[in-house]
Amino acid sequence: MDLKKESIKLHREAKGKIAVKSKVPLKNMTDMALAYTPGVAAACLAIAENPEEAYSLTAKQNTVAVVSDGSAVLGLGNIGPLAAIPVMEGKCAIFKEFAGVDAIPIVLNATTVDEIVAAVKMIAPSFGGINLEDISAPKCFLVEKRLKELLDIPVFHDDQHGTAVVVGAALINALKIVKKDLAKISVVINGAGSAGVAITKFLLDLGVKDLVVCDKKGILSYTDDNLNFAKKELIELTNKTKKTGLLVDALKDADVFIGVSAGNIVDRTMIKKMNDDAIVFALANPVPEIHPDEAFAGGARIVGTGLSNLPNQINNSLAFPGLFKGILEARAKQFTKPMLVAASYALANLVTAEQLNEQNIIPHIFDEAVSRVVSEAVIKVAREEL
């Protein structure tokens, strides 16, 4: 199948992937009077008197804004807001299909942190949550931080935290197979953008102790004069043994490689430097850091990628629908670390001992239980945190 040709055909024929549907009948004047003027005034006044009523009288309670400036779209880079719309529509379709959450794509003609924050703050009253999407690093970290401080609804950058939750689940299960412990493994992460930063922090939350982060210049180091604030923070949190050098040096005696960087930058000779039963998650899209066949040739025991046509697809679509379903139902103000950790373990535990093997470490997106177990994990923690 010619994927590009067929995708254009699908988008052109459908004229986009989402639509608005009325949940109430509008078949006669009584229907109109109840749903719109004059009857709608009663709902308006109820909300004016008690703002909490917005959650029971409007769609706010189950509606998420998917917000992007188009500055870091998939593997396409800074393609701008207009060209980012198909991705945001796809995200919204996934929200609805897999979690029953209504989502609206919002692309912003904005380039600065201040502009994005101001725009999202102004539209926030319409939504129960904000999903930030495809905003470049390090800008994305500042946008998320400021919006969390300003808004009373959940704000979530999926490229960071959704990815981290799924990587965590995959690693938990991979370690069951190789019989290694989170606290005793050596992990190398290549890529210090939004996903790399979040995965690093999340693995530390899970209990990983020995972790080294690389960017295109090699192991993160203060000798780099162009470090942004996010990379400086990672240096403080990681590399306790003070390794120096390039990615190939970092991989020596490592148990786990996680790539969120660029295609074809790792070969079998580099994998051979890793410990026995190496775990390789090559998540660059559309071309992974190393093809599974090459990784296996280097001695890897378990390999995961971001690709749907290969075993062990590690994709944030496994996490974000259920995460938002859970937090919207719980009416929690923000996602917390315990919520994300619980979601990661719930996702991992969905793969039974009988199902778990080197080619099956993570649930499939079409497993109907995925969204349910993730949302239930979030709800349980949210209630415990009250």
Residue after which a domain boundary falls, among 153, 176, 204: 153
Question: Which listed residue (91, 139, 201, 231) is catalytic?
Answer: 91
Residue 279 pLDDT: 99
Please, where are the H alpha helices in 2-157?
3-14, 29-35, 40-49, 54-57, 80-99, 113-123, 139-150
For 230, the token pair is 């996010």
User: What is the distance between the alpha carbons of residues 338 and 194, in angstroms, rounded to a whole number?
Assistant: 20
Q: 240-257: string of b/e by CB count within 10 Å (b at 16+)?
A: eeebeeebebbbeebbbb
Q: pLDDT tens digits for 6-48? A: 999 999 999 999 999 999 999 999 999 999 999 999 999 999 9
Query: Are 267 and 340 contained in the same domain?
Result: yes
How many structural domains are present in the chain? Answer: 2
55 is catalytic: no
Answer yes or no: are the C-beta atoms of 243 and 219 closer than 8 Å: yes
CB 25 within 8 A of CB 31: yes
**pLDDT tens profile 281-336:** 999 998 999 999 999 999 999 999 999 999 999 999 999 999 999 999 999 999 99
> Which tokens in the block code for residue 47?
């909300």
In angstroms and rounded to an integer, the radius of gyration of the C-alpha atoms of the chain is: 22
User: Which among 110, 133, 153 is the end of a domain?
Assistant: 153
Q: Is residue 25 part of a domain?
A: yes
CA distances from 315 to 133, 164, 233 (A): 14, 10, 26
Assess whether 27 carries a catalytic annotation.
Answer: no
* pTM listed for this prediction: 0.96
pLDDT at 1 over 90: no
Among 5, 21, 23, 36, the active-site one is: 36
Structure tokens at 325: 């379903």
- What is the end-to-end Cα distance of the chain in Å, rounded? 51
The pair of structure tokens assigned to 33 is: 């009077």
DSSP state of 332: -
Do 201 and 138 belong together in one domain? Answer: no
The residue out of 112, 136, 153 marking a domain boundary is 153
Range of the structural domain that residue 107 is part of: 10-153
In the predicted model, what is the mean pLDDT of the chain?
Answer: 97
40 HSE (CA, 13 A, CB side): 9
pLDDT digits (tens, 9 = 90+) for 331-379: 999 999 999 999 999 999 999 999 999 999 999 999 999 999 999 999 9
Q: Residue 16: phi, psi to the nearest 5? A: 100, 165
Looking at the structure, do residues 265 and 361 belong to the same domain, yes or no?
A: yes
Q: What is the pLDDT of residue 386?
A: 85
Domain membership flag for residue 3: no
Pairing of strands 278-282, 256-259: parallel
Q: Would you say residue 251 lies in a domain?
A: yes
Residues 241 and 332 reside in one and the same domain? yes
pLDDT of 74 > 90? The answer is no
Q: Please identify which residue in the block is written with the tokens 């102004």.
A: 122
Shared domain for 179 and 324, answered yes or no, is yes
Classify the phi-psi angles of 242: left when phi > 0, otherwise alpha if psi is within -120 to 50, otherwise beta. Answer: left
